[in-house]
Amino acid sequence: MSITIKDVGLFKGLAPHEFSLLKASLREKSFVKGETLFYEGKQCERIFIVQSGRIKIFRTSASGREQILEILNPGESCACNPGETTWCCSTSAEALVDSKVWFLSRDYYIKLVKTNSKVSQALNRLFADRLCRFSSLIEEVSLNDARKRLIKFLLDMLKEQSSEKEGALFIPFTREEIANRIGSARETVARYLHELKRQKLIDIKPQQIIIRDKEALQKLL
């Protein structure tokens, strides 16, 4: 799925002439699957908005273990703190599939937020949503075991997705990406998935999981 800049929630409040200025300032770039957009610790010189594809935002521990913080889909942005002219990225970003993004310079981004109240309000909502997601992630990783985190991940994805077939869940992630998302190991994710299948709570198919007993899964949380 590909979108236009007018579909981006962050910029919904712009007037026609402001859209024209914005479009002239955007730079489009394509990334192949696995290509890095930026690294944590590097100075933030621009923000990006996803035009098509999916981008993962993650951090890497000193031991090299990866923790996915969020997945950005078309229309979503890595938009960060606009209050500082210099800012260092606290995360890294990588294309999960072949993707296209729009880049916007940090100077223009700061000016836009400071001079347009609607963009500022949209950014506040984005930050509030991100804070809620990160708070939930911290709670899950620190309080729940890996099996419960996996079950919650499946149920949350089921809630987000709409499917013609009741309980059919499209999984656009590899086992390793799921593991990185829930703060576990790939082998652990694979083991628990097959355990849930043996218990006849789910079925596993290529890139798809069928939730056979949603109520029983919820009772395991």
pLDDT digits (tens, 9 = 90+) for 175-214: 888 888 888 888 999 999 999 999 999 999 888 888 988 8
Can you name the residues that pair with 71 across neighbouring β-strands? 56
SS (H, E, C) 155-167: HHHHHHCCCCCCC
Residues with Cβ < 8 Å from 19, sequence gap 6 or more? 5, 6, 11
Backbone angles phi, psi at 2, to 5 degrees: -120, 145
The confidence score (pLDDT) of residue 85 equals: 75
CB atoms within 10 A of CB 38: 19
Across the range 76-87, mean pLDDT stands at 87
Q: For 106-154, what is each residue's pLDDT tens digit?
A: 999 999 999 999 899 999 999 999 988 888 778 777 767 889 889 988 9
Strand 202-205: give its sheet, edge to edge: 168-170, 208-211, 202-205
Measured over the CA atoms of residue 102, residue 107, residue 110 and residue 114, the dihedral's sign is negative
Backbone angles phi, psi at 129, to 5 degrees: -65, -40
Angstrom distance (rounded) from CA 47 to CA 101: 10
Higher per-residue confidence, 167 vs 194? 194
Task: Quickly state the pLDDT bin for 166 (edges 50, 70, 90).
Answer: low
Task: Quickly state the pLDDT bin for 170 (edges 50, 70, 90).
Answer: confident
The confidence score (pLDDT) of residue 122 equals: 92
The confidence score (pLDDT) of residue 24 equals: 92
The confidence score (pLDDT) of residue 159 equals: 82
Task: Quickly state the pLDDT bin for 174 (edges 50, 70, 90).
Answer: confident
Q: For 17-71, what is each residue's pLDDT tens digit?
A: 888 999 999 999 999 999 999 999 999 999 999 999 999 999 987 777 888 899 9
Can you name the residues that pair with 46 across neighbouring β-strands? 105
Through-space distance between the first and last CA atoms of the chain, rounded to whole angstroms = 34
Largest CA distance in the chain: 59
- Say what the pTM is: 0.72
* pLDDT reading at 163 higher than 70: no
Q: 190: buried, middle or exposed (CB in 10 Å: 19+, 13-18, 0-12)?
A: middle
Helices (H), the chain: 16-25, 106-115, 117-143, 146-160, 175-182, 186-198, 214-219
Q: Which of 30, 125, 17, 14 is nearest to 76 (CA)?
A: 125
